[in-house]
Chain A
Amino acid sequence: MRGTKARRHEGTRGVALVVALLLCHLVTASGRAAQPPAATGPATPTEPESDADERLVVIRAGTIITNAGQEIQGGAIVLSGGRIRNVGHAIEYPLNAKVIDASNRVVMPGLINPHTRFGLPAYSRTGVHGDLSVAAEFHPYDGQFDELLEAGYTAVALVPAGTGIPGRALVVRTGGKAEQRTLVDPGYVLVADKRTLVEGLEKAQQEIEKVEKARKEWEEKQKQPTEADRRSAPSRGERPSDRSSERPGDRSSARPATQPASQPVTQPATQPATQPATQPAFTPPPIDPPHQVLVDLIQKKEGVFALLEADSASDVLHYEQVLKRFDVAHRLFLRNPRQSDLYRVIPRLGERKAQVALWPYVNRVPFSAERLHLPRDLSAAGCEVSLLPLRDSSDEHLAVLRRTAELVREGWGREEALKALTLHPAKLLGLDKRLGSIEKDKDADLIFLDADPFDPAARVKEVMIAGEIVYRSDRLSADLRVERER
């Protein structure tokens, strides 16, 4: 199919160069599919034209580090609408595409920091605050993340500060259009200590039981009048299935006290007309808002997970003890200072393929000179390792590539190390469908370096977010030549 399409265009254009509109076609095809069939009707020749107006952007790169298979030398990346449409060696693209000549650049996915408080004020919170998100304290302004862009970071997870469960993270891009900045809000639940987690989960369990008890009482109450009244028997028969489908509703209705009024109103409306007004919908008792997210965790709500901060091997064991009781979706942030005893739990973490975030350090066994390569050993054991800067300072963000190069020098696989900065943090944040590698249909959040990323002399020259260059290291003389091919 690819060939035939290409040939057809070749014929119409009459150009000797093989110009395939493969991607353009794919775009139009998908666009057509997305639209309701009644609206489009038969395909018209004008449609490709109108789509072609949104011009493709082609990056001709010296080296492409895709993080999904082999690195590509002298390849091209085709973008449209801020997304990657194709990547490869010999890619055909239309003549009117905007071409960015990055033949002297190494292009790789933007770096992602899964845990930072860059630019946020210091404060401390204790206790359970599952209803608070960093979004409330985040006030974006221009140039806020320029230092991170210089370091090659295109996305960061801003975390709440404090002990206990201080709140939920916010994942943002470091640049680009304001409406495209927020990636996840609210993000993961930050858990800073075990005791609060245990007590919070126990409280959440009580809340769940409270709701279930209220539901049972309500059901009992519903049964009694219907038994007296034979006519409503069929509607009673429908009840159980309706109730089981209502289970997610139980969660949503438990949202902060602003919501519950709308829930009972909408619920009967969706039900068949046989539901008389005498049967009011079940209104669950409100759940304590700070514990709502813990209830979601216990009930395994899609997309809700916790990031557990651990300082030592002992903390990991403590968290495991909790996870044995409450099987909640989670990732781990293992703080590995110079001397770390985390090596003691490597087999355990590897066994359950834990997703862990670490500092880019070569550690030492405490009270000894024995060197430890925790990132390497953890990924060899089967963990998905993400790396993040040692501190929230811009200097440490700038040093990450150098530190990671050190880890590679000490025997870590280069590919794993690159993934630990891009793909694995994206997975950790639940964004691997959009970020982390250069693949079809992923967001075009890319960085352009003038040398191999692990070369100490390498600099991030340009940063692209959602298909737009948002940062140039040399702002006065545009280094990348953007030309239009005839």
Chain B
Amino acid sequence: MMRMSARGRRLILIAALAAFVLSSAAEAQEPQKRRRTRRPDTQATTTQATTGPTTTTATTTAATTTAGAEEKKPHYFAVTNAVVHTVTGPVLEGATVLCRDGKLVAIGREVRLPPECELLDARGWHVYPGLVAVSATGIHGAAPPEHTTDVFSLSMLSAAAGGITTALSGNEAVKLTPGAVDDMIVRKNVFFNLSYTTNNPLERRRLRKDLQRMRHYLRDLRRYEQVKDKEKDAKPPDKEWIKGRFEDYRKLLSGETTAIAAADRTQELRDLADLAQQFGFKLVVRGAFEGWLVADELGRAGVSAIVTPRTRVPLDERYSRPTGATIENAARLHRSGVTLAVVPAQTGVSPGGLGGRDLLHLNMEAAFAVRGGMTNDEALRTITIDAARVLGIDDRVGSLEVGKDADLIVCDGDILHYMTQVHYTVVNGRVAYDKSKETLFAHIRPEGKPEVPVFDDQWPRRLQWRQ
């Protein structure tokens, strides 16, 4: 069933209510063929027709537009008649998503469209929030990506064709904006790289010592903040030494940053979870193919994980305990309360490389989490809202909610289905990828009708063709 947070439900309710209040009979005529149009000014709403002679209206609007700066005119973009998967709220059929200047302003069944609005008729198609890839290479340029990214590069376009609208490139959460260079950065310096390997016990000891020292400092600082008004001779703790790595630790322990650490095996995961729990910082583990063995501990420590469901590591027979990877890893971690983000084995776009395991197949990787026991909705969250939450950008991307960024994809089916094609990728309220216009996949099912039967049970949980 749909997992729905109270906040999401409330938002959707408000949106639907607003849409109902605003609703008018002026709905666009059903177009014979799916197409992107610009809604002309004249046939839009009834208000213009009732205000008097059309000529007067025209002149007054002209005057106002010239008086006010023209760039101030808002840009509206709407996707209509779609099955809208809000992810944090319900699935709305035949709904409209309205964006204004790159932000979502209305989602609902009866949204009144503004007079001048770019329309994308998505009748029968599915709309999802843009996918979030929590690790990506080769899409954006070297840091700082907002200055170096080739926005016409094949890998960026391909990733957009795969439905991805935000990716962690380097240590920056950056949007994929094919053909535009503005508004790329979502968040800079997303993670603090934590090194806590068993290979270097001295370093581990030093890290614990440093964190201890920083914790004492923060405790003294809190105490000082509490008593400084009452006690005259209260002194703030010495902070001269807080520079370099100590500044990083200060940010980490005061919750300003999130730590990320690569850890796969049980022992590493357990150690990291202990550390995070002991010092109370936010931690993301990358890899974690043995996470299913320590899922409860990770969940208790509030650790998030970036996993690849299809990772295959066989049982190590030298141990008398279970080891290695399993397809059920993601599902078990999720059930223990670990916030999960799914990434494919390869973080780059490589059409000629490891077939079906590159970034183009982010949705397929999530589908394999379904195979491991997750529900469809849960799997969808691992590449949308939960992935955004792992990056700390869930206030802007990852779901379709009013006020969030207008990053969405229009597909011809369920995003987790292997036949599904992304037809439009919208980033910042602008169509950044149009399947019919780009040479990548334009030749594949231009009408978007899947040629295979859709199974009753969602593929790939049961592989019926195997028999």
- Name A's B-contacting residues (CB within 8 A): 193-195, 198, 312-314, 317-318, 320-321, 341, 344, 366-368
Q: Taking A195-B144, A195-B147, A198-B147 as contacts, is the C-beta distance between A318 and B152 under 8 angstroms?
A: no
* 18 A-B pairs with C-beta separation under 8 A: A193-B147, A194-B147, A195-B147, A198-B147, A312-B150, A312-B152, A313-B152, A314-B150, A314-B151, A314-B152, A314-B153, A317-B179, A318-B147, A320-B181, A321-B181, A321-B182, A341-B152, A367-B154
Q: Is the CB of A314 within 8 A of B181?
A: yes
Closest beta carbon of chain A to B381's beta carbon, Å: 33
Query: A317 CA to B149 CA in the complex, in Å?
Result: 11
Residues of B within 8 A of A321 (CB): 181-182
Which 9 pairs across A and B sit closest by C-beta, in order of nearness? Answer: A195-B147, A314-B150, A317-B181, A314-B151, A341-B152, A194-B147, A313-B152, A314-B152, A321-B181
Closest beta carbon of chain B to A335's beta carbon, Å: 13
Closest beta carbon of chain B to A308's beta carbon, Å: 13
Q: How many pairs of residues, A versus B, come closer than 8 Å at their CB atoms?
A: 32
Query: A314 CA to B148 CA in the complex, in Å?
Result: 9
Interface residues of B in 147-193 (CB under 8 A from A): 147-154, 179-182
Determine the residue in chain B with the shortest Cβ distance to A313: B152
Query: A367 CA to B182 CA in the complex, in Å?
Result: 26
Q: Is the CB of A195 within 8 A of B152?
A: no
Residues of A within 8 A of B154 (CB): 366-367
Q: Is the CB of B179 within 8 A of A344?
A: yes
Closest beta carbon of chain B to A319's beta carbon, Å: 9
Q: Is the CB of A344 within 8 A of B152?
A: yes
Residues of B within 8 A of A366 (CB): 154
Closest beta carbon of chain B to A4's beta carbon, Å: 57
Closest beta carbon of chain B to A239's beta carbon, Å: 36
Determine the residue in chain A with the shortest Cβ distance to B440: A367
Residues of B within 8 A of A317 (CB): 151, 179-181
Residues of A within 8 A of B153 (CB): 314
Residues of A within 8 A of B148 (CB): 194-195
Residue of B148, B154, B439 with most chain A CB atoms under a 10 A cut-off: B148
Query: A318 CA to B150 CA in the complex, in Å?
Result: 9
Closest beta carbon of chain A to B276's beta carbon, Å: 36
Q: Is the CB of A314 within 8 A of B149?
A: yes
Residues of A within 8 A of B144 (CB): 195
Closest beta carbon of chain B to A417's beta carbon, Å: 28
Determine the residue in chain A with the shortest Cβ distance to B141: A314
Closest beta carbon of chain B to A198's beta carbon, Å: 7
Closest beta carbon of chain B to A344's beta carbon, Å: 6
* 5 more A-B residue pairs beyond the given contacts A314-B181, A317-B181, A344-B152, with a C-beta to C-beta distance below 8 A: A193-B147, A314-B151, A317-B180, A344-B179, A367-B154
Residues of A within 8 A of B182 (CB): 321
Closest beta carbon of chain B to A48's beta carbon, Å: 61
Closest beta carbon of chain A to B352's beta carbon, Å: 13
Residue of A195, A198, A314, A368 with most chain B CB atoms under a 10 A cut-off: A314
Query: A368 CA to B182 CA in the complex, in Å?
Result: 28
Closest beta carbon of chain B to A341's beta carbon, Å: 5
Residues of A within 8 A of B179 (CB): 317, 344
Determine the residue in chain B with the shortest Cβ distance to A321: B181
Residues of A within 8 A of B439 (CB): 367-368
Query: A314 CA to B182 CA in the complex, in Å?
Result: 12
Query: A21 CA to B139 CA in the complex, in Å?
Result: 70
Query: A187 CA to B186 CA in the complex, in Å?
Result: 40
Residues of B within 8 A of A320 (CB): 181
Residues of A within 8 A of B150 (CB): 312, 314
Closest beta carbon of chain B to A443's beta carbon, Å: 41
Closest beta carbon of chain B to A345's beta carbon, Å: 9
Query: A312 CA to B149 CA in the complex, in Å?
Result: 11
Query: A313 CA to B178 CA in the complex, in Å?
Result: 11
Determine the residue in chain A with the shortest Cβ distance to B143: A195
Residues of B within 8 A of A314 (CB): 149-153, 181
Closest beta carbon of chain A to B183's beta carbon, Å: 10
Closest beta carbon of chain B to A160's beta carbon, Å: 21
Closest beta carbon of chain A to B432's beta carbon, Å: 13
Query: A367 CA to B147 CA in the complex, in Å?
Result: 25
Closest beta carbon of chain B to A342's beta carbon, Å: 10
Query: A321 CA to B179 CA in the complex, in Å?
Result: 13
Closest beta carbon of chain A to B70's beta carbon, Å: 15
Determine the residue in chain B with the shortest Cβ distance to A317: B181
Closest beta carbon of chain A to B114's beta carbon, Å: 26
Query: A317 CA to B439 CA in the complex, in Å?
Result: 22
Determine the residue in chain B with the shortest Cβ distance to A366: B154
Residues of B within 8 A of A313 (CB): 152
Query: A193 CA to B153 CA in the complex, in Å?
Result: 18
Determine the residue in chain B with the shortest Cβ distance to A324: B182
Query: A193 CA to B179 CA in the complex, in Å?
Result: 19
Query: A368 CA to B147 CA in the complex, in Å?
Result: 28
Closest beta carbon of chain B to A363's beta carbon, Å: 14
Closest beta carbon of chain B to A157's beta carbon, Å: 26
Closest beta carbon of chain B to A310's beta carbon, Å: 11
Residues of B within 8 A of A367 (CB): 154, 439
Determine the residue in chain B with the shortest Cβ distance to A367: B154
Closest beta carbon of chain B to A269's beta carbon, Å: 47
Closest beta carbon of chain B to A164's beta carbon, Å: 12
Closest beta carbon of chain A to B33's beta carbon, Å: 27
Closest beta carbon of chain A to B91's beta carbon, Å: 37
Residue of A312, A317, A367, A368 with most chain B CB atoms under a 10 A cut-off: A317
Query: A344 CA to B151 CA in the complex, in Å?
Result: 11
Closest beta carbon of chain B to A201's beta carbon, Å: 13
Determine the residue in chain A with the shortest Cβ distance to B147: A195
Closest beta carbon of chain A to B4's beta carbon, Å: 40
Residues of B within 8 A of A368 (CB): 439
Query: A450 CA to B433 CA in the complex, in Å?
Result: 54
Closest beta carbon of chain A to B28's beta carbon, Å: 29
Residues of A within 8 A of B147 (CB): 193-195, 198, 318
Closest beta carbon of chain A to B443's beta carbon, Å: 14
Residues of A within 8 A of B151 (CB): 314, 317
Residue of A194, A195, A312, A320 with most chain B CB atoms under a 10 A cut-off: A195
Residues of B within 8 A of A193 (CB): 147
Closest beta carbon of chain A to B426's beta carbon, Å: 19
Residues of B within 8 A of A318 (CB): 147, 181
Residues of B within 8 A of A312 (CB): 150, 152
Determine the residue in chain A with the shortest Cβ distance to B154: A367
Closest beta carbon of chain B to A251's beta carbon, Å: 28
Residue of B149, B152, B179 with most chain A CB atoms under a 10 A cut-off: B152
Closest beta carbon of chain B to A202's beta carbon, Å: 12
Determine the residue in chain A with the shortest Cβ distance to B178: A314
Determine the residue in chain B with the shortest Cβ distance to A342: B152
Closest beta carbon of chain A to B52's beta carbon, Å: 37
Query: A312 CA to B148 CA in the complex, in Å?
Result: 11
Query: A366 CA to B152 CA in the complex, in Å?
Result: 11
Closest beta carbon of chain A to B350's beta carbon, Å: 15
Determine the residue in chain A with the shortest Cβ distance to B182: A321
Query: A344 CA to B180 CA in the complex, in Å?
Result: 12
Query: A318 CA to B179 CA in the complex, in Å?
Result: 11
Determine the residue in chain A with the shortest Cβ distance to B153: A314
Residues of B within 8 A of A341 (CB): 152
- Indicate with 1 or 0, residue by residue over B107-150, a CB within 8 angstroms of chain A CB atoms: 00000000000000000000000000000000000001001111
Closest beta carbon of chain B to A323's beta carbon, Å: 12
Query: A320 CA to B181 CA in the complex, in Å?
Result: 9
Determine the residue in chain B with the shortest Cβ distance to A344: B152
Query: A179 CA to B144 CA in the complex, in Å?
Result: 46
Query: A411 CA to B439 CA in the complex, in Å?
Result: 27
Determine the residue in chain B with the shortest Cβ distance to A322: B147
Query: A321 CA to B149 CA in the complex, in Å?
Result: 13
Closest beta carbon of chain A to B224's beta carbon, Å: 36
Closest beta carbon of chain B to A435's beta carbon, Å: 36
Query: A366 CA to B181 CA in the complex, in Å?
Result: 20
Query: A341 CA to B150 CA in the complex, in Å?
Result: 11
Query: A193 CA to B150 CA in the complex, in Å?
Result: 13
Query: A341 CA to B156 CA in the complex, in Å?
Result: 14
